Chain A
Amino acid sequence: MADTGPDFQRLGDDLYRHWESAMSTWWDQVLESDDVLRATGQNLSAMASARKSYEEGVDQGLKRLHLPTRQDLIQVTRIATLLEERLLQLEDRLLRMDDGVTQLQEHIVVLERETVQARIEAAEARIELREGLAKITARLDALEPASAPKKRGQRRAPARSGTKARSASKARAATAAEE
């Protein structure tokens, strides 16, 4: 004969499985039974009514003693809850206003950036124009000896400022046109 004893673990597991299966079947019948469920409902209803009567009795006793009742407590808490809700609604509004201000600030920053950019571009355009004018002036100055030969003894003008040079050039150009 094999040298093994009974497997108590397996035996226990099998017993448990059979017990659970049988109990589950029985409980399923009980807990799905219309009669049981109706009776449970009636029982719960009676329990709730008894509890309500008891609490109404306690409330009346407290009222006679001029003490706050459970109903008073519930009403005060409801008021506190509604007040908290109002406060949070105000907080919501403030947060939305804050969102609006933030958006406005972002918009202003964008606008400012665009304005500064436009001013920089205008300034750059003016600088370019001036440089262009200066180049033209320089060319005109360079053309000057060729178009109008210097008279003997005429001294070369010292280095002139841009404005003076331009007015002199203009004058020379006008003279040339008249000629």
Chain B
Amino acid sequence: MAPKLHTATAPVAEALRRAQVLTSFLASRPVARARTGQTPHRVIHRQNGAALRYFPPSGARVRPPLFICMPLINTWTIFDLVPGRSVVEALVQAGVPVYLLDWGRPTTADREVTLQDLVDGVLPRALDRALRHARQHHGSQTLDALGYCVGGTFLAISLARQPGPVRRIALLAAPIDFHASGRLSRWARPDRFPLDDLVDGLGNFPRDLMRASFQALRPTGQIAKYKTLWDRAADPEFRKLWAAIEHWNADNVDFPGEAYRSYVRGCYFDNALMKGGWTLAGRAVDLKKGALSALAIAAEQDHICPSVAAFGLKQAWGGPVRTTTLRGGHVGVCLGQALPRTILSWLDEARP
């Protein structure tokens, strides 16, 4: 017996309604029009395209200042995507003065920028300027530092080489044991990945290739994101967030060529943060020399930096290391409320 007409047509009608909503949504070019990085801030220091962004606290209670080192391969706005889904916004509302290092957008002319320029030059200087500002405006004598993804790896390398004014560090989804970092580590092997040819031929490692690599980690993810949009088409807040994520996803930046050569050779080819024996500008890169107290945060469904890769810090780092895992993927972990809560409780631990 055939189903009654109204019960058979209802899902079709619903599907048509969704299609209409999504058609008008996508036709309005939401990804291109998405606005990210809206939390009020100002740039207090610049060096070769990199910028130190200061977000003043807005809460009544002022907490210890936090320095955030962002990754070099995407823009910093993943930490300030949209109001209500912004790590930085949540922190400043809770009274945390935030200093965020944005590496900028390297151009063709930056191909000779080296890894030591970044970890021995730009990063320590940004820390110094952040501390000076924090001392003057908030009476702080030290900083707590958080590094995300490659930003966390760079922060660990830099602080192991020169401790600076940092009291403790937290590394979020930051790979340390690179040979445990899943598919990426299997791709980036000296016999498969033509590192020198790419850097010599292309200069910087291009953002399009970077984006393609990340998409190839989960090829079905490109379809899955539209499936999710279809499922939640009726939620305007979700549509806004989806557009902002897509906007950020499409906004990779080039990785300076010489810095990329050292990074891939040291971290992926040799896994030197775990094994040792890596020197930069004549000085050893030895995480065992890092004496600060550290917190390694991993994301449960992270396919770029699995928890094993992030928790390699426990073996590699010289100081005491605690670990914690949050729900979400490599990017999703930055969008929930759990991350700001974890950071705030970590900051409050150190209050005298």
Closest residue of B by beta carbon distance from A1: B1
Given the interface pairs A44-B194, A92-B125, the reply to whether A5 lies near B183 with Cβ below 8 Å is: no
Given the interface pairs A8-B11, A37-B192, the reply to whether A77 lies near B110 with Cβ below 8 Å is: yes
B206-236 vs A, Cβ < 8 Å mask (1 yes, 0 no) = 0001000000100110011001000000000
Interface status of B349 (Cβ within 8 A of chain A): no
Interface status of B121 (Cβ within 8 A of chain A): yes
A24 to B48, CA, bound (A): 42
A74 to B12, CA, bound (A): 59
Instruction: Report A102 CB to chain B, min CB distance, Å.
Output: 11
In the complex, which residues of chain B have a beta carbon less than 8 angstroms from the beta carbon of A37?
186-187, 192
Chain A interface mostly: helix
Interface status of B350 (Cβ within 8 A of chain A): no
Q: Are A88 and B125 in contact (CB under 8 A)?
A: yes
In the complex, which residues of chain A have a beta carbon less than 8 angstroms from the beta carbon of B1?
1
In the complex, which residues of chain B have a beta carbon less than 8 angstroms from the beta carbon of A41?
192-194
Q: Are B109 and A44 in contact (CB under 8 A)?
A: no
In the complex, which residues of chain A have a beta carbon less than 8 angstroms from the beta carbon of B251?
none
A38 to B191, CA, bound (A): 8
Interface status of A49 (Cβ within 8 A of chain B): yes
In the complex, which residues of chain B have a beta carbon less than 8 angstroms from the beta carbon of A84?
47-48
Number of A-B contacts (CB under 8 A): 98
Q: Are B192 and A32 in contact (CB under 8 A)?
A: no
Q: Are B223 and A20 in contact (CB under 8 A)?
A: yes
Given the interface pairs A7-B11, A81-B113, A84-B47, the reply to whether A20 lies near B224 with Cβ below 8 Å is: yes
Closest residue of A by beta carbon distance from B198: A48
B95-133 vs A, Cβ < 8 Å mask (1 yes, 0 no) = 000000000000111111100010001000100100010
Closest residue of B by beta carbon distance from A51: B201
Interface status of A123 (Cβ within 8 A of chain B): no
Q: Are B8 and A6 in contact (CB under 8 A)?
A: yes
Which residues of chain B in 9-56 are interfacial with respect to chain A, using CB atoms and an 8 Å cutoff?
10-12, 14-15, 47-48
A6 to B12, CA, bound (A): 11
Given the interface pairs A20-B224, A70-B108, the reply to whether A49 lies near B7 with Cβ below 8 Å is: no
Q: Are A44 and B197 in contact (CB under 8 A)?
A: yes
Q: Are B47 and A88 in contact (CB under 8 A)?
A: yes
Q: Are A49 and B48 in contact (CB under 8 A)?
A: no
Q: Are A78 and B132 in contact (CB under 8 A)?
A: no
Interface status of B284 (Cβ within 8 A of chain A): no
Q: Are A8 and B12 in contact (CB under 8 A)?
A: yes
Count of chain B residues with a beta carbon within 8 Å of a chain A beta carbon = 44
Which residues of chain B in 176-203 are interfacial with respect to chain A, using CB atoms and an 8 Å cutoff?
183, 186-187, 191-194, 197-198, 200-203
Interface status of B4 (Cβ within 8 A of chain A): yes
In the complex, which residues of chain B have a beta carbon less than 8 angstroms from the beta carbon of A16?
227
Which residues of chain A in 43-58 are interfacial with respect to chain B, using CB atoms and an 8 Å cutoff?
44-45, 47-52
Q: Are B193 and A92 in contact (CB under 8 A)?
A: no
In the complex, which residues of chain B have a beta carbon less than 8 angstroms from the beta carbon of A49?
197, 201
Q: Are A52 and B200 in contact (CB under 8 A)?
A: yes
Q: Are A3 and B223 in contact (CB under 8 A)?
A: no
A4 to B202, CA, bound (A): 61
In the complex, which residues of chain A have a beta carbon less than 8 angstroms from the beta carbon of B209?
44
Q: Are A73 and B224 in contact (CB under 8 A)?
A: no
Q: Are B109 and A32 in contact (CB under 8 A)?
A: no
Q: Are B201 and A52 in contact (CB under 8 A)?
A: yes
Interface status of B282 (Cβ within 8 A of chain A): no
Instruction: Report A18 CB to chain B, min CB distance, Å.
Output: 12
Q: Are B7 and A4 in contact (CB under 8 A)?
A: yes
Interface status of A31 (Cβ within 8 A of chain B): yes
Sorted from nearest, which 9 A-B pairs have the closest CB atoms?
A48-B201, A77-B109, A5-B3, A5-B7, A45-B194, A8-B11, A52-B201, A5-B8, A45-B197
Q: Which residues of B pack against A, CB within 8 Å?
A: 1, 3-4, 7-8, 10-12, 14-15, 47-48, 107-113, 117, 121, 125, 128, 132, 183, 186-187, 191-194, 197-198, 200-203, 209, 216, 219-220, 223-224, 227
Given A41-B192, A92-B125, list of 16 further CB < 8 A pairs?
Answer: A3-B4, A4-B3, A6-B8, A8-B15, A20-B220, A20-B223, A37-B186, A44-B193, A45-B194, A48-B200, A76-B109, A77-B107, A81-B48, A84-B47, A88-B47, A92-B128
